[in-house]
Amino acid sequence: DIAPMTAALERLHAALFSAPPAAIHRSAAGRAQAAALVDRITGGYSPDVGADWAAIEHELSAAYRAVAPAAGTTH
């Protein structure tokens, strides 16, 4: 269950970024999902490590894009 991690990251992102709540949630949820995938890889129970790394890249890219305008970046 990544809900507690998502909630904690939402609080962190709300403190760091001046972004709308929906963007904060998208960013936090993506980062939490990426962390869960890393845990799966490092825990040795990933059925497809390559696919998990690709999913991590996707989740983190989307998370960063969600708050990029608030962070003063464009990527």
The predicted-structure confidence for 17-32, as pLDDT tens digits, reads as follows: 989 999 999 999 999 9
Largest distance between two CA atoms of the chain: 38
Q: What does pTM read for this prediction?
A: 0.87
Cβ atoms of residues 24 and 69 within 8 Å: no
Q: What angle do CA 24, 25, 27 make, to 5 degrees?
A: 65
Instruction: Calculate the average pLDDT of the chain.
Output: 93
The H-or-E segment that residue 25 falls in is: helix 21-42
Query: Which position has the token pair 């936090």?
Result: 28
Torsion angle in degrees (nearest 10) through CA of 64, 11, 4, 75:
0
